[in-house]
Chains A and B, each alone.
Chain A
């Protein structure tokens, strides 16, 4: 079990790098969904099997994050007709290199933090921090509104896993709250992206902010 968790954590880190390195938005959505599945599996593979209601909660959260939210984003993709992120603010190779730097930072920070209950492996905390930072990085370094929405989802994945890692008693309450927030956010964003697209014929946030200046 320990070994499987270890591998899942590595897969999680690699998925983050895939998000940083790919320009296809469809692949990004797929990666985020896959990440949600990996994060959903991690708490179930602990030393002891969690209580049934906890399993149900994890299953529900995973279902929302791996199926419902990606479906919403895909719908936005389809309706805006965007296939790939061209001209990001930061190139893909540079993004990957920045990701490596972030990973080192997270590793150093993760060594300072001691996990309340062990058994998750030393790499778990750096991986969660790295997932959060990847989400933030995507929000900052990409132009398209959809990639930024995906960045929020990744950020939420990281926060969720952080909660699981520090779970002593009842982290599920916190996570349900976070999940609700994100669900609402993506819902609003999905609608907003659609509206922006209908108004301006594109979803390029960079050009939105300069719209007033050009006029």
Chain B
């Protein structure tokens, strides 16, 4: 319980750091010094001090969007374990709730984008929905594969089993497949590079950034913070399921989990540095492939 609380505090405090790590790695590959590791914190504080401007076309949906998005991702965070550190709330079936809390976050962001009445944002919303519909299959089926193997339906139990290495080798093959699928889903859902370029503003190919163009001030801060937490939540799930790192000390486990998430951020930075963005028509293919990895994991799990 204590450690679960500690994990949540760590997540709330360090989630914006992940973006800093990723950008630092990209700067290193590009031969630049890059922004400070704390840049996103500065941005958030700057935005929090600003007022908001609302267009007259928007309704309450636009204002509610960021609040509900932040609330949804906080709910997901409460349900997310980190390695052997269980989630604050754990019950059978909570993995569905985590996936759909993130789904709710996406849904309200899309609604807010459509509410602005801008054709540009509508385009981004349409793409976001198209890609996440494919990513959701990969994510859910992958989690179900692990659930079928462990024969439990709670994310905390799955993570504890996988992390403590209590699974035999063939099921580790499941974990490898699921880890690969989850990594693809993580990149797609968090608007990372092979799918979406977080650096491009006002470009016709972008997806996530285009949806939040009309948000400003506190609203934008909430959205940015919620995105950082979303990256943390998905990273925690990926790390918990993919890394068998058994240690006896709960505290040590928690620290190892935090380290693993930071390493994941490094990995994302490297992926972003060495890969180009996929052509938009190729994106569904990669997501379908991730779905197939998950699907194969289910087949291995069901033997």
User: What are 21 contact pairs spanning A and B, CB under 8 A?
Assistant: A2-B169, A2-B170, A3-B173, A6-B170, A6-B173, A7-B176, A10-B300, A17-B292, A21-B285, A93-B288, A96-B285, A96-B288, A100-B292, A100-B295, A103-B296, A107-B299, A121-B303, A122-B303, A123-B299, A123-B300, A126-B299
Q: Report the bound CA distance from A7 to B172 in whole Å.
A: 9
- The answer, among B285, B288, B296, for a CB contact under 8 Å with A10, is B296
Q: Is the pair B285, A92 in contact by a Cβ cutoff of 8 Å?
A: yes
**In the complex, chain A residues 83-130 whose Cβ is within 8 Å of any chain B Cβ:** 92-93, 96-97, 99-100, 103, 107, 121-123, 126
- The answer, among B284, B288, B299, for a CB contact under 8 Å with A103, is B299
Which residues from chain B contact A122 at a C-beta distance below 8 Å? 303
- Interface flags for A1-30 (1: CB within 8 Å of B; 0: not) read 011001100100110010001000000000
B295 nearest CB neighbor, chain A only: A100
Q: Report the bound CA distance from A10 to B178 in whole Å.
A: 13
Q: Report the bound CA distance from A121 to B177 in whole Å.
A: 17
| A151, chain B: closest CB distance, angstroms | 20
Q: Is the pair A3, B285 in contact by a Cβ cutoff of 8 Å?
A: no
A13 nearest CB neighbor, chain B only: B296
The 10 closest A-B pairs by CB, nearest first: A3-B169, A122-B303, A93-B285, A6-B170, A7-B173, A96-B288, A93-B288, A6-B173, A10-B173, A100-B292
- The answer, among B169, B288, B296, B303, for a CB contact under 8 Å with A14, is B296
Give the dominant DSSP class at A's interface.
helix
Q: Is the pair A21, B299 in contact by a Cβ cutoff of 8 Å?
A: no
Which residues from chain B contact A10 at a C-beta distance below 8 Å? 173, 177, 296, 300
Q: Report the bound CA distance from A123 to B302 in whole Å.
A: 10
B281 nearest CB neighbor, chain A only: A93
Q: Report the bound CA distance from A166 to B167 in whole Å.
A: 30
Q: Report the bound CA distance from A13 to B169 in whole Å.
A: 18
Name A's B-contacting residues (CB within 8 A): 2-3, 6-7, 10, 13-14, 17, 21, 92-93, 96-97, 99-100, 103, 107, 121-123, 126
Which residues from chain B contact A93 at a C-beta distance below 8 Å? 284-285, 288
| A126, chain B: closest CB distance, angstroms | 8
Count contacts between A and B, CB distance < 8 Å: 46
Which residues from chain A contact B285 at a C-beta distance below 8 Å? 21, 92-93, 96
**In the complex, chain B residues 36-87 whose Cβ is within 8 Å of any chain A Cβ:** none
Not counting A2-B170, A121-B170, a sample of 10 additional A-B residue pairs whose C-beta atoms are within 8 angstroms of each other reads A2-B169, A3-B169, A3-B170, A10-B296, A14-B296, A93-B284, A96-B285, A100-B295, A121-B303, A123-B299
Q: Is the pair A97, B288 in contact by a Cβ cutoff of 8 Å?
A: yes
Interface size on B, residues (CB 8 A): 17
Which residues from chain A contact B299 at a C-beta distance below 8 Å? 103, 107, 123, 126
- B289 at interface, CB cutoff 8 A: yes
Q: Is the pair B289, A6 in contact by a Cβ cutoff of 8 Å?
A: no
Q: Is the pair A96, B289 in contact by a Cβ cutoff of 8 Å?
A: yes
Q: Report the bound CA distance from A126 to B296 in whole Å.
A: 12
Q: Report the bound CA distance from A7 to B176 in whole Å.
A: 10
Q: Report the bound CA distance from A96 to B285 in whole Å.
A: 8
Which residues from chain A contact B284 at a C-beta distance below 8 Å? 93
Which residues from chain B contact A121 at a C-beta distance below 8 Å? 170, 303
Which residues from chain A contact B177 at a C-beta distance below 8 Å? 10
A123 nearest CB neighbor, chain B only: B300
Which residues from chain B contact A97 at a C-beta distance below 8 Å? 288
Which residues from chain A contact B303 at a C-beta distance below 8 Å? 121-123
Which residues from chain A contact B169 at a C-beta distance below 8 Å? 2-3, 6
Q: Report the bound CA distance from A103 to B296 in whole Å.
A: 9
Find the residue from B173, B292, B300, B303 having the highest chain A CB count within 10 A: B292
**In the complex, chain B residues 268-303 whose Cβ is within 8 Å of any chain A Cβ:** 284-285, 288-289, 292-293, 295-296, 299-300, 303
